[in-house]
A and B are shown apart, each in its own frame.
Chain A
Amino acid sequence: MGNSNLSVSGTAPHPAARPATRAFKMKKHWNKYAMIYIFLVPILVHFSIFHLFPILFSLYITFTDWPIIGDPKFIGLKNWINFFSDQLAWKAIWNTILFSLYYIVPTMALGLCLALLINTGKRGTGFFKGIYFLPVVTSFVVISGIWAWLFKGTDSGFVNSFLGLFGIEPQLFLSDSIQAMMVLAGLSVFKVCGSTMIYYYAGLQSVPDEFYEAARIDGASRWHLFWKITFPLLMPIHFYVAIITTIGSFQIFDSAFLLTSGGPNFSTTTIVYYLYQEGFTSLRLGYASVLAYILFFIVFGISLIQKKALGKEVNYK
């Protein structure tokens, strides 16, 4: 009981006793947390090599002219200054924002709707759970191929043939600057909403039934049950899904690369696609790293805003 180094009178221990106390405390601390530190070592090593080092190295690269081969040539702030006058970079940022607008809300809404559908507990929901999740595990290349066929801009395209039944003129889709981005976003929503469905489904499992029972006794309609209980209680899920879909939307690359190659006229060139082109086609790794940092600042800023707006806890007591 108690610390043997403390004097009975409560005065400070003798100075000579202090190191012993510190050593004792350290030993006690080590005994208590040794396993934690040991288990942390691998992840810290992994983090340092594969995350921290690349982050710091790419920051250094932003100040250099480096075509991947040879030694980086220090050029100071030139890459950063170039960014502000690079119209294509700003266009890529705007395109990415546009993509996010087309992508985030539909992905969340569709994910929530699908989760509500499979949460009914009726027979066969397990089957639909699998079906809705299928696009998530299907390769982007395969889905892009299917979408390219669906949205062919000629009369013989599948969607154009369908629209033709209603007398609607064939649309250009991937050859139209506005529609191409919408098709791209549609593809991404289709690919990802299965994941958001799973998050929402997990969230729905944690909403206590008593709330619904009490509300039903009070005469609440289904509409009210959803808007007054389900939706607010899913707020932590909304926050999480919003963050991950936002980050995902700013990292969009595959569909732009596979479906439109950033065109027509750069209308689907997103920031990551542009970064890739600058880094690996134009061999300007320094400038590509600047774009990566700009992307980081944007995503970080938006995540902070989202945290303020959506990160409130909802408790019903």
Chain B
Amino acid sequence: MFWKKSGVIVLLCAFLLLFTACSKDEAASGGSTDKKQSATLTVWIHPYVSDELKSRQNEVFKEMGERFKKEYPNVKVKFEEIPWANREQKILTALAAKQGPDVFYLIPDMMAQFADKGVLAPIDDLLGDYGKDDFDKTSLEAVTYKDKMYGLPLLKEVQTYFYNTKILKELGGDPNHLPQTWDEFNALAEKAVKKGYYARNYEGGNTPNATLYPYVWQAGGQVITDDGKIAINKSDAVKGFELVNNWYKNKMIPKDSINTIDHLPLFLEGKSLAYWGTGASLATMKEKGFKDYAIGSPLKNKEIATFGTTGMFVVSGNSENKKLAAQLVKSMTSTESLKAFNKLTKYVPPRKSAASIYNEDKDMKILTEYAKYAKPGVIHPVSRSVMPQIQAKLQEMMQGKKTPQQAADSAAKAIQEEMNK
């Protein structure tokens, strides 16, 4: 009798242990992906298009939700639109209050900072097969921090040159043979200045992602190396500072380049040979009826490189349904989803299988081609917080208070201090 009773108790205990072990395992990994389970997932999105196109954006996300619902019929996906302004503040305060979304949108430097603070859930083990080979390499690098993936890419942006073909011809240039190297561009820039034009825009009020890093990379330099060493003041990187300094000193860029944030009107008014911009600039040009342009490649000194952010969907570390949320991210970055989203927003799709959306659009096809040169910025926890410092050193250089080497050295010092904090 004793053994019988004991046996039942032992069996019960073993069953309970097994049960709790399973639950713990599921809880630790953020719930299960049982296709019949019911849950509500909240996704924070942003206005990726102008107000006129907002209803179409809503449709695109609604379709994404419905696509996911086909696979997970009992899961409700709630899209909430958050304005761009102060978005990190909103996300962080919501997450700090253990609220906020299961899935939200980030760019690489924010991702590194958030991942470093433990805000995000690594999703490598939660995704399953997501078609790794279909994504372009740089976009997957952009969602990876310390060898862990924290999201899947939704969009890519690429910065490159748009030339005013009228001015180009006036200067003896050929729209079919646009500058490829620093030397070729600078030769043309000198001619432009002599004719009373600016060579290009330079919006020094923007982040170094747009105003410095592309030139550092083109010169073969780096800001912070992959193993976390500061390289912004190494000889190759300093060439990037020198390039900007020469442009400013030789009046190739406008006088207010130190702190302005918008030089597109100058280009549209026909005062500048080239405009360093993105697909969004192209959309504005078309909207304003500006037709005399040709799209050129990002330049090369040692290598061709440019900046282009990679927008991604990430999973919140707070989410109670991390596995489901990761599956939602996978679904929202499927070929179908990326085609619909990028076709509307005019970004470059990070999946090769979605690139066909621009087969009929000559300009976007060129930008999609150049996207392979686009780096997503500096992926390091301090990359975002150190940006104002680097921007200030660059401005000091342009004001003539520092030489390029001094500006690079003080930028390196600022990065070091930020790393020490």
Contact = CB atoms under 8 A, between A and B. Distances in A.
B89 interface: yes
B421 A261 contact: no
In this complex, the interface size class of chain A, counting residues with CB under 8 Å from chain B, is: 20 to 34
Contact of A177 (B254, B266, B399): B399
Contacts of A281: 88, 384-385, 388
B37 interface: no
A277 interface: yes
A172 B396 CA distance: 14
A70 B118 contact: yes
A156 interface: yes
Interface in A146-185: 152-154, 156-157, 170, 172-177, 180
A263 B391 contact: yes
A266 interface: yes
B118 A175 contact: no
A174 to B, nearest CB: 5
B257 interface: yes
Given A280-B86, A281-B385, A283-B113, A175 B257 contact: yes
Contacts of B259: 174-175, 180, 260-261, 263-264
A69 B96 contact: yes
B205 A261 contact: yes
B256 A173 contact: yes
Contacts of A266: 388, 392
Contacts of B391: 263
A68 interface: yes
B256 A174 contact: yes
A168 to B, nearest CB: 14
A234 B21 CA distance: 76
Contacts of A156: 266, 269, 271
B86, B92, B118 pick with most chain A CB within 10 angstroms:
B92
A68 B395 contact: no
A38 B374 CA distance: 65
A34 B391 CA distance: 61
Given A175-B259, A175-B260, A283-B113, 11 more contacts: A68-B96, A69-B96, A152-B260, A153-B256, A154-B255, A263-B259, A264-B392, A265-B401, A269-B388, A280-B86, A280-B89
Interface of A: 67-70, 152-154, 156-157, 170, 172-177, 180, 260-266, 269, 277, 280-284
Interface of B: 86, 88-89, 92-93, 95-96, 113, 117-119, 204-205, 254-261, 266, 269, 271, 317, 384-385, 388, 391-392, 395-396, 399, 401, 418, 421
12 contacts: A68-B92, A69-B118, A153-B254, A153-B255, A175-B260, A177-B399, A260-B259, A261-B388, A263-B205, A263-B388, A282-B384, A283-B113
Closest 4 pairs (CB-CB, A-B)? A153-B256, A175-B258, A282-B385, A264-B259
